[in-house]
Structure 1
Amino acid sequence: MRIIIVGASPLGQHLAQRLIRERHEVILIDRDAGRARELAEILDCTVINAEGTRPDVLEKAEIGDADAVVACTDHDQDNIIIGLVARKSDVPEIVLRTDDEQFLAVAKKLGFHHIINPAQIGSMIITDALRGVDTTELSTLIRGDVRFISIIVEKRLKGTRMDDINLPEDSAVIGIYRDGRFLLAREKPALRPEDELIIVTRSAYVREICENLCEETENIII
């Protein structure tokens, strides 16, 4: 795969090293000249010293030929802008890092499928640990081609019962998030616009489910 990473943060550097070991073609972009120069000497990849939010810089990195773009700068706003440019260039996979929950919500509303919030994940695990709870991360539960999908319910689905949602085989509704609460599917709540519907399925069915339940692509989160 040809992967563009924007932002040589610790996350960006670690990701670049891992992808290089897996023999992917990596292009790393960072605005800090000193850091870019240092990384160019130790990483076996293309390193570009430039402002990664600029469309011309991303074009220089041949974003149109990229299989994926990972925006992991230290600025949530920049990461969202990079994601929008990548979407305009029809990049198949776009991953955004956000630290602020407000920008996490904005990224979801804009329809980005893959959003990483290290601060939120880390704080949840630490809080649980302090309470003596051994929390299992979702990432440790996902194996093979299992996928979890989050879909923002549209107005046309208002009043639909979870039992009435037509899903492919090996798929199921887990529940919904509504006003900060999680309602299990067994409670059979009628859907409301802006509910966040959580579905477990196989990777082969993700696009089919999204196309059936969402007319607006900005309501799909994977």
Structure 2
Amino acid sequence: MRVIIVGAGSLGIHLTRNLIDQGREVILIEKDEAIAKELAETLDCTVINAEGTRPDILEKADIANADAVVACTPNDQNNILIGLIARDAKVEKLILKIEDKQFMDIASKLGFYHMINPASISSSYISDVLRGINAIELSNMVRYDVRFISVIATEKIIDMRLSEIPLPENSAFIGVYRKNDFILAEKDPKLSEKDELILVTRADMISSVNEVLGRNLD
């Protein structure tokens, strides 16, 4: 997998190191010359010192052949712009870091589904702790070959109910996010456009799950 990461903040650097450890090909773009120079000397990946919102720079990073683009600069508007450029280049997976809720709404309206809001995640966790709620982080539940998957409803399954979708063995739906609502799988909702399905499966079943759900990741 070839991943372009724009922004060498704490999130960008941590992600870059994780992907390198996984054997992924990473291209990291950072506009700060001193930071870019230091990372180029310490990370086993391509580091480009430039402004990542420039189409010519993303072309230099060979965005046309990227499997994923992660926009995690400190600027929400820049991250959305990077996402738009990457989408125009037909990049399959786009992940945007968005700090401000109003820009999350804008990004959602523009059709971006994978957004990270670190402040919201942290504040929700702290709020739960203060209320005496022992919330279990999803990352602590992913063990062995179990995988939790988020999938946007494709044309193949829109208007179907969850019970009508023939998931492979060792797989099950958890629920559906619909706008600001979460619907448990036991309610068997009929799927609508932009619904986000949450399911659990095993690593060796992911390809079969994608096929059933109409996701073409070739």
The TM-score, its normalising length taken from structure 2, stands at: 0.75
- Aligned in 2, Cα 1:50/1:206: closer, same or farther, shift over 3 Å? farther
Contact 2:146/2:200 (<8 A) preserved:
no
Q: Structure 2: how far apart are the matches of 1:153 and 1:53?
A: 29
Alpha-carbon RMSD? 3.2
Matches within 5 A, 1:71-110: 71-110=71-110
Cα 1:40–1:161, aligned 2, differ >3 Å: closer, same or farther?
A: closer
Structure 1 moving runs of 4+ over 6 Å: none
Q: Distance in 2 between matches of 1:85 and 1:167?
A: 36
How many Å apart are 1:138 and its aligned residue? Answer: 1.9
Select the structure with the greater relative contact order (CA < 8 A; seq sep ≥ 6).
1
**Match in the other structure for 1:63:** 63
Tell me which residue corresponds to 1:220.
none
User: Equivalents in 2 of 1:101, 1:65: separation in Å?
Assistant: 31
Task: Structure 1: state its 5+ residue gaps.
Answer: 218-222
CA contact (8 A) 2:72 2:97 kept: yes
Show the 5 A alignment for 1:57-206.
57-112=57-112, 114-143=114-143, 144=145, 146-151=147-152, 161-163=161-163, 165-170=164-169, 171-178=171-178, 180-188=180-188, 196-201=196-201, 202-206=205-209
**Which range is displaced more, 124-133 or 144-153?**
144-153
- 1:108 and 1:12, CA in 2 relative to 1: closer, same or farther beyond 3 A? same
In structure 2, the partner of 1:46 is 46
8 Å contact 1:153–1:191 — kept in the other structure?
A: no
1:157: Cα distance to partner? 5.0
| Most deviating of 129-138 and 47-56 | 129-138
User: Aligned residues, how many?
Assistant: 210
- Percent identity over the alignment? 51
Alpha-carbon distance between aligned partners in 2 of 1:59 and 1:194, rounded to the nearest angstrom: 30
Q: How far did residue 23 of structure 1 move?
A: 4.3
Where in structure 2 are there 5+ consecutive unaligned residues?
none
Structure-1 separation of matches of 2:68 and 2:194: 29
Following superposition, the deviation at residue 15 of structure 1 comes to: 1.9
